[in-house]
């Protein structure tokens, strides 16, 4: 069962939530970049640095950058009036799903299909 069109108040709330989340993720990216630089410096100076920690920092940074990109895409959809519509079937995404993942691009049914195949 598809969701319903979002009200202007809903859209404003999702925009605020996305902007707050984006700020947090960008802060995480900055922190991970600093940690990675510190680990890389330690490795260059011959310290017995932890390669696993550096690799993990890079992986987390890549994941956070991808999430930030999805959030920016969602903010663009808010601006162009397509936020809340599934990009696969064009049905409205349920509000509960958007509350959990405000940058969701697909309704739950299309997301499941995408993950399955």
In the chain, where the domains are located: 8-83
The pTM score is: 0.76
Please tell me the distance from the alpha carbon of residue 117 to that of residue 111, in angstroms, as a whole number: 10
Q: Which residues pair with 92 in a beta bridge?
A: 85
- Backbone phi, psi, residue 92, to 5°: -70, 135
Per-residue confidence at 82, pLDDT binned at 50, 70, 90? very high
* Tokens, residue 7: 């009200």
Please tell me the distance from the alpha carbon of residue 57 to that of residue 77, in angstroms, as a whole number: 30
Instruction: Find the mean pLDDT for residues 88-94.
Output: 96
Please tell me the distance from the alpha carbon of residue 29 to that of residue 62, in angstroms, as a whole number: 9
Q: What is the pLDDT of residue 27?
A: 82
Handedness of CA 103, 106, 109, 115 (dihedral sign): negative
Q: Is the pLDDT of residue 50 over 70?
A: no
């Amino acid at each position: 069962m598809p969701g319903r069109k979002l009200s202007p108040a809903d859209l404003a709330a999702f925009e605020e939530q996305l902007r707050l989340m984006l700020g947090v993720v960008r802060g995480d990216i900055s922190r991970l970049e600093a940690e990675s630089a510190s680990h890389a410096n330690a490795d260059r100076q011959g310290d017995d640095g932890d390669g696993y920690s550096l690799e993990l920092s890079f992986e987390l940074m890549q994941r956070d950058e991808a999430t930030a990109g999805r959030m920016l895409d969602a903010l663009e959809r808010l601006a162009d009036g397509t936020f809340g519509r599934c990009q696969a079937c064009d049905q409205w995404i349920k509000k509960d799903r958007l509350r959990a993942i405000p940058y969701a691009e697909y309704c739950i049914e299309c997301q499941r299909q995408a993950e399955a195949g």
